[in-house]
């Protein structure tokens, strides 16, 4: 565990806690704020985006208890309106390190007086990072600690560093398929879609692809996506447990996000009822939900 002090304002310091795990030539560093993966290295090569705020100041935030945007940033439950900002609050919470081994670490956060103001459900969220021979497994464990059903979404948002020209990269899907992604309107899922037939299972990366924000897939046949640099595979994301997928970058940014999701933004015609939200997960009391994805260095 590492503690870092950084000046915030004159005579003030912010306190950053990080944990690093290692396995052979691999290392991963996780910030306790948000339990966010901020570094994944093989030898000296860094695979996670540096978080330069000029483009995007995050690395790999955890999205919970919602993924994406709610219509009017609000929803209704038991005749009461609640407000939740884009991607939920877990990424801003301080997680506890509850278990650490040389090559793995588990972090935990629970509902609190503050979270209940915007999300009136008792939960625990555990996140385990485990280095493997060729990469890292990331396991979520969502637990309903309340006495009623709990609706939620959870998703990953890892940004991968691209060191060559953006157009030198492509994404290779696991299967040859016709992709269909939904266009966003003010962050919401519209009924407008674009279909794209893959060539050799791949799609070349261009910034023009993301002129209308992220590519949002309600479903894909593929459950793995590989980043190719000049046709050479460098990294693969496997997401068998996640039904939805987002792909995103911003203009001129040297990164690409591959985002396995269980859930997505509200649709433009959403009713605001959280239990009726498209893609929502629901847990009974004391049940848990344990999706896992992996990042493989090739």
Distance CA 56, CA 51 (A): 6
Is pLDDT at 57 greater than 80 in this prediction? yes
Neighbours of 37 (CB within 10 A): 25
Query: Could you write out the DSSP letters of every residue in 12-61?
Result: EEEEEEEEEEEETTEEEEEETBTTEEEEEEETTEE-B----TTT-S-SS-
Q: Which domain holds residue 11?
A: 2-297
DSSP state letters, 199-257: BTTEEE--GGGGTTS-EEES--S-SEEEEEETTEEEEEEE-TT-SEEEEE--TT-SEEE
Taking only the tens place, the pLDDT of each residue in 122-142 is 999 999 999 999 999 999 999
Do the Cβ atoms of 196 and 181 come closer than 8 Å? Answer: yes
Q: Is the dihedral of CA 139, 140, 145, 151 positive or negative?
A: negative
> Which residue, 31, 40, 262, is CA-closest to 156?
262
CATH number at residue 120: 2.70.98.10
Domain count, the chain: 1
CA-CA distance, 245 to 227, in Å (whole number)?
15
Specify the residue for token string 């990469």: 135
Phi, then psi, of 40 in degrees rounded to 5: -140, 110
Cβ pair 246, 257 in contact under 8 A? yes
The mean of the pLDDT values for the chain is 94
The tens digit of pLDDT for each residue in 30-51 reads: 999 999 999 999 999 999 999 9
pLDDT tens readout for residues 80-114: 999 999 999 999 999 999 999 999 999 999 999 99
C-alpha span between 213 and 289 (Å, rounded): 29
pLDDT tens-digit map of 232-247:
999 999 999 999 999 9
Mean pLDDT of 248-268: 97
């Amino acid at each position: 565990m590492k503690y870092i002090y950084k000046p915030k304002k004159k005579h003030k310091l912010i306190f950053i806690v990080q944990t690093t795990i290692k396995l052979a030539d691999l290392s991963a560093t996780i910030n306790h704020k948000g339990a966010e993966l901020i570094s994944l290295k093989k030898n000296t090569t860094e695979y996670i985006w540096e978080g330069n705020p000029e483009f995007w100041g995050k690395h790999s935030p955890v999205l919970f208890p919602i993924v994406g945007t709610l219509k009017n940033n609000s929803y209704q439950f038991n005749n009461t309106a609640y407000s939740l900002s884009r991607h939920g609050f877990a990424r801003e919470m301080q997680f506890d390190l509850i278990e650490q081994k040389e090559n793995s670490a588990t972090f935990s956060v629970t509902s609190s007086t503050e979270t209940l103001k915007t999300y009136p459900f008792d939960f625990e969220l555990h996140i385990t990072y485990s280095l493997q021979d060729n990469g890292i497994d990331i396991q979520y464990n969502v637990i309903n600690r309340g006495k009623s059903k709990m609706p939620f979404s959870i998703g990953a948002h890892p940004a991968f560093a691209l060191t060559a020209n953006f157009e030198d990269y492509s994404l290779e899907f696991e299967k040859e398929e016709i992709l269909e992604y939904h266009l966003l309107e003010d962050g919401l899922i519209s009924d407008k879609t674009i279909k794209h037939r893959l060539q050799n299972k791949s799609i070349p990366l261009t910034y023009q692809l993301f002129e209308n924000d992220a590519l949002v897939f309600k479903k894909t046949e593929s459950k793995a996506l590989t980043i190719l640099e000049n046709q050479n595979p460098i990294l693969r994301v496997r997401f068998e447990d996640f039904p939805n997928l987002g792909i995103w970058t911003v203009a001129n940014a040297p990164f690409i996000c591959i985002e396995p999701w269980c859930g997505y933004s509200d649709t433009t015609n959403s009713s605001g009822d959280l239990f009726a939200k498209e893609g929502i997960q629901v847990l009974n009391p004391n049940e848990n939900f344990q999706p896992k994805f992996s990042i493989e260095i090739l």
